[in-house]
Amino acid sequence: RFANTRGTALLLVSKTGSGKSSLANALLKTTQFQVGRGMLSCTESCKRISTRARGRDLTVVDTPGTMDVADEEKAKTEIRRAIGFCPEGFDVFLVVLKCDAQFTAEERRAIEVVAEMFGDEFYKHAIVVFSHGDEYKNNEFEFSRDLQSIRKQIPYLDQLLTRCGNRFALVDNGRRCDRAVQDRQIEALLSKVENLVVSSRGRMYTTVELEAARRRAEEAERKRKREENDRKERERLELEKRVREDVMQHQQRDTSTGKSSLANALLDTKEFQVGRGMLSGTAHCKCISTHARGRDLTVVDTPGTMDVADEEKAKTEIRRAISFCPEGFDIFLVVLKCDARFTAEERRAIEVVAEMFGAEFYKHAIVVFSHGDEFDNNETEFRNELQEIRKKIPYLDQLLTRCGNRFALVDNGRRCDRAVQNKQIEALLSKAEGLVASKGGRKYTSLELEAERRRAEEAERKKAEEAERREKERREQERREMESQLMAQQRERDESRQKEQLMRIMGGVLQLGLALASSAGTSAAERPPTGQLMSISWSTPMDNSDDDSD
């Protein structure tokens, strides 16, 4: 049986904002790893700490999120460099996932990026760590039971856990976690790490495996490029260089911004279904009209526009939302989580809605930052932080500017302070009423939606016509080029035939001259000297003149 006497090396990987740095601090009982807060990522480069902690010699390397908004390629480079932080290699990869957020295409791609870099050996050394265990009150039995249902609904997550040998752990790494509970969870995690090291007989993932994975990836890329070039060549010959259509890949987005929780808070109800953990709770539009908070309110909750399940269905549902209020809507509430990174997915989700509803969308919109407990519901602190965030995330700054800088902070968590939440909701409704008054009660109705649809169709028609025109021009240009090539080839063939005919004529003339010289029977003195060539010439009359002098 293998006995580990050299210590254990751990490499933490995942999407940005999953809690890697917090987990690294928990593992070593330190605060040396900088932890991000709110929408901005803190880990931009790898960091290594080697120390004795929890009765073990541990080396922990934290890495940037592989899908970081700032620079994804830089993050990939940093993760490759991580191997250099431990020349002797790593025992275990800890793949960190948040159990209180939906598992989206972005999480999947983040894991795939790492696996592509490290190869199949990655899974043999990996343990999946579900962070933010307080979502399940740190009840591992309840989480394990819930995870079985989640695995049935998210096939890739099930495949990931299966390829990792069903090795996973639940850890609460939040800032307000119970340290005693966290210590017990970390001990359980390290025990699983030690068992994996023993079962691998101490074999580590080193630069040798990384180099082998790199060579395999390069070979696969070369093979892919060869096949791609062959395919393009076949298409060029078979389809006469017809244009190839680009394949558009739609990103998918985390829907757990807190819309349904906010809807419940607005109406002081629980009728809107709230998702829990990694699964989305809203699949269809739902409308509730009632008298709440001293006002007559109608609230319509919609599915996330980039829902993993079916993006197009979500778009259709949002368009249908207008029919729930035939008289129209006064306000659009754009909900963003202030405790999660603002990624390209969040941006695309907002753009999708704006494209459906048109420029009028921004005139009726208020941005609501949910999960205000990230800033202890301190609006002054959040406002100051938001100024810095806007400088670093230009699109968010543009969004707030187009929305007239209308925004609100709301704590809609399940364990929020209701008194604080009521105050925040009142402030939000006051801003909504102010916006309604400033617009003279004018609503966004199906007329605006229909007008926007017609504009979009007209724009799409013009785009299609322009594409068709360019395609015709391209084909005409190809036709002309092909004709030019054929004419050039014909000229070359004609010139070649002419040269061949000329050579045959010259050869025949030369043979005739030699024959005439031989039959003349001239004396040797009159014959041309040896080594000289006989020159024979003739002329052709240019007209019918009687002059015989030529």
Per-residue confidence (pLDDT) for residue 542, from 0 to 100: 44
Q: Could you tell me the residue range of the domain that residue 38 belongs to?
A: 8-205
8 A C-beta contact, residue 331 and residue 365: yes
Residue 210 has pLDDT above 70, yes or no: yes
Q: How far apart are CA 233 and CA 189, in angstroms?
A: 53
Task: Tell me how many degrees the CA angle 126-128-133 measures, rounded to the nearest 5.
Answer: 155
Q: What share of the chain is helix, strand, coil (3-state, %, to 5)?
A: 50, 15, 35
114 occurs within a structural domain: yes
Per-residue confidence (pLDDT) for residue 2, from 0 to 100: 41
219 occurs within a structural domain: no
| pLDDT band at residue 510 under the 50/70/90 scheme | confident
Per-residue confidence (pLDDT) for residue 129, from 0 to 100: 94
The amino acid at 87: P
Q: How far apart are CA 127 and CA 31, in angstroms?
A: 23
Round the average pLDDT of the chain to a whole number and report it: 79
Parallel/antiparallel/unpaired status of strands 92-98 and 286-292: unpaired
Residue 195 has pLDDT above 50, yes or no: yes
527 occurs within a structural domain: no
Together in a domain, 146 and 284: no
Among 407, 425, 444, the domain boundary falls at 444
Together in a domain, 283 and 184: no
Average pLDDT, integer, range 115-142: 86
390 occurs within a structural domain: yes
Together in a domain, 313 and 169: no
- Measured torsion, CA atoms of residues 319, 324, 330, 333, in degrees rounded to the nearest 10: -60
| pLDDT band at residue 513 under the 50/70/90 scheme | confident
237 occurs within a structural domain: no
Average pLDDT, integer, range 493-517: 86
Average pLDDT, integer, range 118-141: 86
Instruction: Give the number of domains in the chain.
Output: 2
Tokens 């594409």 sit on residue: 467
Together in a domain, 74 and 201: yes
Together in a domain, 295 and 172: no
| pLDDT band at residue 196 under the 50/70/90 scheme | very high
Residues belonging to the chain: 550
Residue 255 has pLDDT above 50, yes or no: no
Per-residue confidence (pLDDT) for residue 417, from 0 to 100: 81
Together in a domain, 12 and 103: yes
8 A C-beta contact, residue 382 and residue 370: no
Among 190, 205, 220, the domain boundary falls at 205
Q: How far apart are CA 255 and CA 345, in angstroms?
A: 10
Average pLDDT, integer, range 368-376: 81
| pLDDT band at residue 368 under the 50/70/90 scheme | very high
Per-residue confidence (pLDDT) for residue 249, from 0 to 100: 32
Residue 367 has pLDDT above 90, yes or no: yes
Average pLDDT, integer, range 110-118: 84
pLDDT in tens, 325-343: 878 888 999 988 887 777 7
pTM score above 0.75: no
Together in a domain, 193 and 277: no
Together in a domain, 274 and 155: no
Instruction: Pick from 159-168, 461-470, 534-543 the range whose average pLDDT is largest.
Output: 159-168
Per-residue confidence (pLDDT) for residue 52, from 0 to 100: 93
DSSP secondary structure code for residue 135 in this structure: G
Residue 275 has pLDDT above 90, yes or no: no
| pLDDT band at residue 18 under the 50/70/90 scheme | confident
Q: Tokens standing for 385?
A: 């932080």
Per-residue confidence (pLDDT) for residue 191, from 0 to 100: 94
Together in a domain, 327 and 403: yes
CB atoms within 10 A of CB 445: 16
Per-residue confidence (pLDDT) for residue 420, from 0 to 100: 86
Together in a domain, 178 and 282: no
Together in a domain, 434 and 335: yes
Residue 220 has pLDDT above 60, yes or no: yes
SS3 category, 221: helix
462 occurs within a structural domain: no
pLDDT in tens, 145-162: 888 999 999 999 999 999
| Alpha helical stretches, state H, 172-310 | 179-199, 207-239, 259-267
Question: Who's near 185: CB < 8 A, 6+ residues apart?
Answer: 133, 138, 169, 170, 171, 172
Question: With helix as H, strand as E and coil as C, how does 38-75 read?
Answer: CCCCCCCCCEEEEEEECCEEEEEEECCCCCCCCCHHHH
pLDDT in tens, 84-100: 788 888 899 999 998 88
The amino acid at 274: V
Lowest-confidence pick of 63-67, 139-143, 174-178, 488-492: 63-67
Average pLDDT, integer, range 282-292: 81
Residue 549 has pLDDT above 60, yes or no: no
The amino acid at 123: Y
Q: Tokens standing for 57?
A: 């010699």
Among 426, 444, 462, the domain boundary falls at 444
Per-residue confidence (pLDDT) for residue 528, from 0 to 100: 52
pLDDT in tens, 398-445: 999 999 999 988 887 777 788 888 888 898 999 999 999 998 888 888
Together in a domain, 270 and 201: no
pLDDT in tens, 19-59: 888 899 999 999 888 887 665 566 667 888 999 999 999 99
432 occurs within a structural domain: yes
Tell me the DSSP string of 333-358: EEEEETTS---HHHHHHHHHHHHHH-
> CATH number, domain at 176?
3.40.50.300
Residue 535 has pLDDT above 70, yes or no: no
Q: How far apart are CA 301 and CA 285, in angstroms?
A: 6
